[in-house]
């Protein structure tokens, strides 16, 4: 265990006010947030039919001070799940905008996969 891990366990998440989940992220101003909130936020935005990110770089920002948090600072697990959310969200968006129809199976697979991954992250975070 590194000193980094010890610090994480003592800190409260600025979003849910609970002790931070094992997978959490700190911005350069010291704000600590469970990684899952970033996933939930992205998912919620896509569900409204909007793009969760304004550009292809997929920059995520601190909930409190809006400073950029580079992707490499998030865990591999987080980034993998985020990829699924983005893939699924973009499918929905394109369908809505163009009227194109993806196969139900394609869409369901992407959706199921992302739901499952988020559930796993929430379980491991408690």
Binding site residues, Zn ion, CB under 5 A: 13, 15-16, 27, 29, 31, 34, 62, 64-65
For tokens 């129809």, what's the residue?
101
Which is closer to Zn ion, CB of 21 or CB of 52? 21
Classify residue 123 as exposed, middle or buried by CB count within 10 Å of its CB (0-12, 13-18, 19+).
exposed
Torsions phi, psi for 37 (to 5 deg): -65, -35
| Least distance to Zn ion, CB of residue 107, Å | 29
C-alpha closest to that of 21 among 30, 74, 32: 32
Tell me the closest approach of the beta carbon of residue 92 to Zn ion, in angstroms.
26
Q: Residue 92: how many CA atoms within 13 Å on its side-chain side?
A: 20
Residue whose CB is less far from Zn ion, 11 or 64: 64
Nearer to Zn ion, 21 or 84 (CB): 21
CB of 67 vs Zn ion, minimal distance in Å: 5
How many helices and strands, by DSSP H and E, does the chain display?
4, 4
Quote the least distance from Cβ 35 to Zn ion, whole Å: 9
């Amino acid at each position: 265990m590194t000193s980094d891990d010890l610090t994480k366990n003592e800190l409260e998440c600025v979003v849910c006010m609970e002790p931070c989940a094992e997978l959490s992220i700190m911005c350069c101003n010291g704000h600590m947030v469970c990684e899952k909130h970033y996933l939930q936020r992205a998912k919620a935005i896509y569900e409204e039919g909007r793009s969760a990110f304004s550009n292809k770089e997929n920059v995520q920002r601190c909930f409190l001070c809006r400073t950029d948090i580079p992707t490499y600072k998030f865990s591999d697990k987080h980034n993998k799940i985020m990829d699924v959310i983005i893939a699924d969200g973009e499918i929905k968006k394109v369908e809505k905008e163009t009227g194109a129809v993806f196969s139900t199976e394609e869409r369901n697979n992407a959706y199921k996969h992302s739901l499952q991954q988020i559930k796993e992250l929430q379980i491991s975070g408690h």
